Amino acid sequence: MKNLNKQLLIFFSLLFLASNIKAQKIFSEGYIKYDVFTNEQAKPSGVYIIYVKSGNIKRELSMDNGYNNITIYNAKQKKTFSYNIAEGNKYALELSHFEVEEKNNKFKNPTFTKNKQSITISGYQCIGSHVQYNNGEEADIFYTSDILPSTEKFNTMFPGLNGVALQYQINSKNGMIMKFVANTVSVSPLDSKIFTIPIDYKIVTKDELEKLK
């Protein structure tokens, strides 16, 4: 009888483990669209979209005040490009690995503290957590472990997070508050052209762009 109970325990433990593994999916292609709220306003004041395909990542932030920022990480070239418009001319600023690392340095080695909150966002069960950065900035997030990023470059702001943040609020030291809430999680195929720099944008380095201004 003891052997039977032991076998049953092992069986159901493995079954539970298998179900958890099956529930987790790699977010390798698709997009997540977030509503952007600033300074605790009730209505969104912008849209943020992250596109993913074959390791490529495109991030686009569009605010109602006219601010627009687009960055593309090309997995094959291992390069990051940021769209800029200077004096009416369009440029795709090529960022070196060092420049990207320096820009994201403030997000390195954050401390995650889970809380007991749990909510559903875009059909995914999300766990609450507080994030503390080494530079003093903080963030409150809700993330799902049902989908996992296909590359560590996806979770730039939350390195080491075992999942994808579908809601997060950034409290900067200058008092600015930005809250992102996912309203769409799509795992449908994407056109590779999304990650192609438009032909009317000239690729330049930081030094070249400074000379053109």
Residue 17 lies in a domain: no
Return the structure tokens found at 188: 């449908």
Asked if the structure places residue 19 within a domain, the reply is no
Domain tally for the chain? Answer: 1
For the entire predicted model, the pTM comes to 0.84
Beta-carbon neighbour count of residue 212 at 10 Å?
A: 13
User: pLDDT band for position 57 (50/70/90)?
Assistant: very high
pLDDT of residue 67: 87
Is residue 90, in this structure, part of any structural domain at all?
Answer: yes
Residue 162 lies in a domain: yes
Q: Read off the pLDDT band of 1 (50, 70, 90).
A: low
**What local confidence, expressed as pLDDT, does residue 213 receive?**
63
- The answer to whether residue 163 is domain-embedded is yes
Q: Which residues contact 150 (CB under 8 A, 6 or more apart)?
A: 26, 27, 28, 52, 55
Find the CATH number of the domain harbouring 78: 2.50.20.10
What sign has the CA pseudo-torsion 179, 48, 145, 153? negative
Report the pLDDT averaged over residues 87-110. Answer: 88
Is residue 15 domain-resident? Answer: no
Residue 194 vs residues 3, 35, 56, 157: alpha-carbon distances, Å: 58, 20, 10, 23
How sure is the predictor about 41, in pLDDT bands with cuts at 50, 70 and 90? confident
Write the DSSP string, the chain.
-HHHHHHHHHHHHHHHHHHHHHH-EEE-EEEEEEEEEETT-SS--EEEEEEEETTEEEEEEEETTS-EEEEEEETTTTEEEEEEEETTEEEEEEEPHHHHHHHTGGGSS-EEEEEEEEEEETTEEEEEEEEE-TTS-EEEEEEESSEEESSTTTTSSSTT-SSEEEEEEEE-TTS-EEEEEEEEEE-S---GGGGSPPTTSEEE-HHHHHHH-
Residues 115-174 have pLDDT tens digits of 989 999 999 999 999 999 998 888 999 999 999 998 888 999 999 999 999 999 987 777
Facing residues of 41 across strands?
Answer: none
* Residue numbers of the domain that contains 77: 25-212
Residue 4 lies in a domain: no
> What pLDDT score was predicted for residue 10?
44
- Is the residue at 10 inside a domain? no
